[in-house]
Each structure stands twice: as structure tokens, then as C-alpha cells.
Amino acid sequence: MFKSLRKAKIVAVFAVAGALVLPTTPASAAPVEITLSCFNDLNLGNLLKEWETVNPNIKVKLKTADFNAHHDGLLTQLIAGSGPDIACVEVGYTSRFKAYPQLFTNLGKTFKANTLEKSFINWRWEQGVARDGTIIGIPTDVGGLAMCYRQDLLKKAGLPNERGAVSAATSTTAKLTAFAEKYVAATGKPFLDNVSQLFEGVSRQGADGIQFYDKKTDKIVEVPQVKKAYDLAATFATKKLSAEIAPWSSDWNQGMGNGAFAAMLCPSWLLANIQNNAKDIPGAWDVAQMPGGGANWGGSQLTIPKFAAHPKQAWTFINWVLAPEQQLKLFLDKGVLPTTPAVYKDPKFLAAKDIAYNNAPIGKIFSDVVMSIKKPIYEGKYQVSVKDAYNAAVGRMASGKQTPEASWAQLMKEIKKIKALS
């Protein structure tokens, strides 16, 4: 009895397997589930719902983990010879994965992704290409840098609060410092959220595309722009112009809504976050130009790991979700800045005004920043470790634990250690 039941089961399994293997009935193919693993949902919620009707045969299952844990875990998974069908990789971590192109499907060779290249922002596309030419990822979004500010608080402090006027009054880092000092003198409250964000933003303004790594030699270098950013951060810290609230902390989120600070650097992907935390004060925030000129900060790529179970289906989805039409929808829905410049000319894109940001034309503001960038920051294999060390140095100095000089000296020692790694 038992034996015959088992036999029947085995037969059934083979029958099903046979049905899957035989290519006779492609039209009625069983639905395939692909996994998309990422550090958040990339704001794709509504698009994923739409995808269910566009292509019911490819179901997308989203798996998320904490930012660092996602990227660290992905590398371990890939080394061990497994991986999701689609993995998102943030720009800051991309260099680490680009050092191992053999772990990814070469989207150029396998799926002729190079035909898409011309519809993407040139330098943004390159960020997904390894040094040996392997296309490992297609860019999802781009982080143009601007400065968000509380127009209501500036007005109360007797300072200019109109977009153009604020941009003009803070057009250089020296002017920004003076502006912040005026605000602090008038209100007794800090101007900026924290200096680590300020350091990160300003250190990215090097005209030659060098922050921590030199593209030509692929080596870690120290450039004047980064030191300049560090000194600016030190000025803000010693003059107490910043609230020193750690980014991504609960105090930071609350501060966006309760006036703990009047300004913060805002890469475009941060807009949705500010909007969420400032729900009770619609129109209080506004957007001005980044002091010292535009820069790029952040953005992600979608990759297909070498060990993906369903690479074809994964590519079908990527191709759809990153097409200009979908990117426009994503911008109108969540303010995610597209990587396909054709969208920037779309009337709907240009007309988009955000009530949360005092009706600022955020599409126009951020796309102007992005289009003004010629050379993106080049990032190398140990980018993450170098960045961690710099951030820690800024933090030690900002908390008053060390003098700016002592903290810098310790930093240089740590950088030397990272340089010694192969």
C-alpha cells in the first residue's frame, strides 16, 4: 500500500518535471517566481502591483535587509555560489562588487544591454560597468544633490527664505557659513542637521571626479577638496552651527518634523524621507541649490548575480521597470529621480510641483543638477572602508572627543592601513 503510493508520487513528480522541461507548450508555461533582494523597496511598491497585470507569469518577490547587512550578505552569498535573481547594489558599494565581475551575469554579452546605454545618463551608466567592461548593473535612480531648508524658520529668523534668494545667499561654502551664523545668532538654534552629511556632500564636489580614489591609477589618494570639506565640517562643529544629530537615527527623523535644525543636504532620494517625517508641516520645507555647486550622491543599480535561478525572467523585469515610462511613473509617485534623461523633457516631469516642498519644481531643480555633472566620483575596491574611516574622523571631531587636528592625524594612520591591503 505504502509502496504503491510512493511509486505513484514518484511518477507524478516525473510527470510534472517532464511537463516543465518539454518545450511543447510555451504559452501555458507555469508562473515563475523571481526574488529581488535589496536594502529597501526602492519605492517600487505601486510598480510591482502594476507588473502583476503586465506579466502575471513572472512573479517578483521582494526581500529586504538593513543597508550594510544587505551588501555584506550579498557578497558572502555570491562567494558561496548562490544569490537572488535580482540584487540591487548601491553606488557606494558598487565598487566592491565591480572588483569581482565574475560573480555577475554580464548584461552586455548575455542580454545585449549595451543597446540601452544611449538612453541612460552617460556617467551614471558607467557606474554599473566594471573595469574590464562587464556590465554588471543597470542604474535605477540618480542622487542629484541640493540643500533642503525650512523656509518658515528662516523667515522667522529674518533671513531670506525664497528659493532663489537662499541659493544666492549660500552659493559658496563661505557664504553658507555666514548664513548659518546669522541664523544661529537670531534664533539660538542650530542651522544644520549634522556635519557628517555636510562633509559627505562637499567632499563630492571635486571637479576632477576624485573623492577618495584616483580613476587613472585605481589607488587611494588625498585631494584638497576632501580636506576642504573636513575643515568646513570642523568650522561648523566648533561654531556650533549644527545640531549634531546622527543621520538615520530616530532623533534625526523626528528633527525633520520638529525644527531641531533648519537645513540639511538632500540628495533626491532623501526627499521621500523628509516628506514622511514632516507630514504635519506641509510646505515648510523648500529646496535650494547645493552650496558650492551640484554633485552626485547615491543611487542604485539592479544586477543579476551569476547564480540567479531565472536570469531571463529577471532581465525581462529589469528591462520593463527601468524603461523611461516606468521611471517617469516612479518620479511622479515617489520623487525618485530617473536615470533616463529623455524623461527630463517630459511636460509631466517639468510640471511636477511638490506641495510638501512649498510647491518647488523638484523635477527641474534636481535634473538640472544631474545634467550639470560631467565626471562622477570614481570609487574603488575599499571605498566602503575608506568612507567609514573618514566618517569616523568627522564624528570624533564633531562630538568634541578629539581636536580636528588629532582626529585627522588618527585618520591618516587608518588610511595608511587600508592602503596596505592588496
Partner 1 sequence: MNLKQKTSAKSKSSLRDGEGRTAFFAISPFYFLYLVFGIFPILYTSYMAFFAWDPLGEKVFIGLTNFTNLLQDEVLWKALRNTLSIWVLGTVPQLALALYLATILNRNRLRFSNFWRAAILIPNVTSVLAIAVIFSSLYGRDFGLINYVLNIFGVDKINWMEGTLTSHFEIATMIIWRWTGYNALIYLAAMQSIPKELYESASLDGATGWQQFKYVTLPGIRNVMIFTITMSTIGGLQTFNEPYILGGVTGGNDKQFYTLAMFLYEEAFRKFQFGYGAAIGIFIFFCVVIFALINATIASKIAKD
- Binding residues (CB under 8 A) for partner 1: these are 68, 72, 75-76, 79, 100, 102-103, 243, 245, 249-251, 254-255, 260, 382, 384-385, 388, 391-393, 395-396, 399, 401-402, 418, 421-422
Residue type at 329 in one-letter notation: K
- Please give the grid coordinates belonging to residue 318: 529589469
Residue closer to partner 1, measured from CB, 114 or 391: 391
Query: 43 burial class (0-12, 13-18, 19+ CB within 10 angstroms)?
Result: middle
Contacts of 87 (CB under 8 A, 6+ apart): 36, 37, 38, 74, 302, 303, 304, 305
3-state secondary structure of 310: coil
Residue closer to partner 1, measured from CB, 4 or 422: 422
Q: What is the closest distance, in whole angstroms, from the C-beta atom of residue 72 to partner 1 in the complex?
A: 5
Return the number of other C-beta atoms located less than 10 Å from residue 141's C-beta: 26
DSSP 8-state symbol, 355: G
Q: What is the closest distance, in whole angstroms, from the C-beta atom of residue 100 to partner 1 in the complex?
A: 6
Q: What is the closest distance, in whole angstroms, from the C-beta atom of residue 385 to partner 1 in the complex?
A: 6
Q: What is the closest distance, in whole angstroms, from the C-beta atom of residue 99 to partner 1 in the complex?
A: 9
Could you tell me if 331 and 345 are in contact, meaning their C-beta atoms sit under 8 angstroms apart? no
Give one DSSP letter per residue of 39-75, joined into a string: SS-TT-HHHHHHHHHH-TTEEEEEEE--HHHHHHHHH
3-state secondary structure of 265: strand
Residue closer to partner 1, measured from CB, 304 or 362: 304
Q: What is the closest distance, in whole angstroms, from the C-beta atom of residue 340 to partner 1 in the complex?
A: 33
Could you tell me if 233 and 402 are in contact, meaning their C-beta atoms sit under 8 angstroms apart? no
Report in angstroms the alpha-carbon separations of 349 from 331, 361, 362, 364, 375.
Answer: 8, 9, 9, 8, 25
Residue closer to partner 1, measured from CB, 197 or 313: 197
Residue closer to partner 1, measured from CB, 260 or 309: 260
DSSP 8-state symbol, 264: E
Note the maximum CA span of the chain. 89
Q: How many residues does the chain have?
A: 422
What ranges make up the beta strands (E) of 144-262? Answer: 145-150, 213-214, 219-220
- Please give the grid coordinates belonging to residue 28: 501555458
Q: What is the closest distance, in whole angstroms, from the C-beta atom of residue 320 to partner 1 in the complex?
A: 32
Residue closer to partner 1, measured from CB, 24 or 250: 250
Residue closer to partner 1, measured from CB, 119 or 402: 402
Give one DSSP letter per residue of 81-139, joined into a string: T---SEEEEEHHHHHHHHT-GGGB--HHHHH-GGGGGGGS-HHHHHTTB-TTS-B-EEE
Report in angstroms the alpha-carbon separations of 410 from 146, 223, 415, 419.
Answer: 31, 17, 9, 14
Residue closer to partner 1, measured from CB, 55 or 391: 391
Q: What is the closest distance, in whole angstroms, from the C-beta atom of residue 395 to partner 1 in the complex?
A: 3
Q: What is the closest distance, in whole angstroms, from the C-beta atom of residue 254 to partner 1 in the complex?
A: 6
Q: Which of 338, 353, 333 is nearest to 282 (CA)?
A: 353
Q: What is the closest distance, in whole angstroms, from the C-beta atom of residue 410 to partner 1 in the complex?
A: 8
Residue closer to partner 1, measured from CB, 27 or 421: 421
d(CA 132, CA 288): 39
Q: What is the closest distance, in whole angstroms, from the C-beta atom of residue 275 to partner 1 in the complex?
A: 20
Residue closer to partner 1, measured from CB, 6 or 401: 401
Residue closer to partner 1, measured from CB, 316 or 402: 402
Q: What is the closest distance, in whole angstroms, from the C-beta atom of residue 111 to partner 1 in the complex?
A: 23
